[in-house]
Amino acid sequence: MKKRIVSSRLDESSILTDARKLLAPQIIDRSRRAFLLHSLTLGGVAMLSGCNLTDNESVETALSSMSRFNDRVQGWLFNPNAMAPTYPESMITRPFPFNAFYGIDEAPTVDEESYRLEVTGMVADKRSWRLEELRAMAQTEQITRHICVEGWSAIGRWGGVRFSDFLKRVGADTDARYVGFKCADDYYTSIDMATALHAQTLLTLSYDGAVLPRQYGFPMKLRMPTKLGYKNPKHIQAIFVSNTYSGGYWEDQGYNWFGGS
Ligand SMILES: Nc1nc2c(c(=O)[nH]1)N[C@H]1C(S)=C(S)[C@@H](COP(=O)(O)O)O[C@H]1N2
Ligand SMILES: [Mo]
């Protein structure tokens, strides 16, 4: 879809026209602008604005036309197969920042022995998973940039199971619209199926070559370099596949549900 839009000005303008029709007027406050700026740099808006994404002025130009876009329009515009950049080991941010809706001392302590990952909804195999069973699956690693909507980013190295492999293994209905997550700290979020199946979406069990530490989401974090930080749930306890929209902790407070590319 992305290629078609790039090659045709007509498609681009018809989408813009459609977008304007869809959108209710809304006030763009500072945090929403900041959010959009980040989501735009994530989203490959280069094809819309023809600009280098590090050039703030041209991102601003694109922003003014895109600021009223809703999730559906972003879904049309952003190619779900686009790959996020990866980085060399030398670029890893050390120490990697901690972030949550509470301080680092309050990060939940999850007991490895009694831990079970619950898998429910539109899946053939609804059983629970022990950590060692996840560790026995094929593992992969990636060094990517985590971008937080609050205005910081950091490069980190995560390892684990490709989420698409996991979804296949549990017999998930990949025609379902959403995959939702419930976390040990009462955080929750949900993502679109295209992102769940993206090649860079990992059910991470490790950080920088070691077991994922408590502060970064032990026992597991879903890592999506194509999405903003708040879409990446830590301390996952339950995964559910569904056609019913279930929002998210920050999303329900006004952050954009799509949150990425
Ligand atoms: N369970 C849980 N997951 C979460 C959060 C949280 O508060 N609880 N915060 C989100 C936000 S806003 C960010 S930026 C990242 C921070 O991840 P880090 O601590 O590994 O940097 O986790 C995301 N996932
Ligand atoms: Mo964040």
**Roughly what angle, to the nearest 10 degrees, separates helices 30-42 and 56-66?**
110
Residues 6+ apart with CB under 8 A from 51: 45, 58, 59, 61, 62
Which of the 8 DSSP states describes residue 91?
G
Q: What is the pLDDT of residues 129-148, one digit of tens each?
A: 999 999 999 999 999 988 88
Enclosing H/E stretch for 60? helix 56-66
What is the model's pTM?
0.76
Instruction: Check: CB of residue 207 under 8 Å from CB of residue 96.
Output: yes
For ligand 1, mutation pick of 232, 249, 250, 252 (most atoms within 8 Å of CB)? 232
Q: Give the torsion sign (CA, 225, 230, 236, 240).
A: negative
Give the number of the atom of ligand 1 that is nearest the alpha carbon of residue 186.
Answer: 1
| Predicted pLDDT at 129 | 98
Residues 62-112: pLDDT tens digits?
Answer: 544 444 444 544 544 456 677 888 999 999 999 999 999 999 999 999 999
Ligand 1 contact via 97 beta carbon (within 6 Å): yes
Asked if residue 137 has its Cβ within 6 Å of ligand 1, the reply is no
Among the ranges 15-19, 44-48, 58-62, which has the highest mean pLDDT value?
58-62
Residues near ion ligand 2 (CB < 5 Å) are 148, 229-230
Q: Convert the pLDDT of each residue in 178-225 to its tens digit.
A: 999 999 999 999 999 999 999 999 999 999 999 999 999 999 999 999
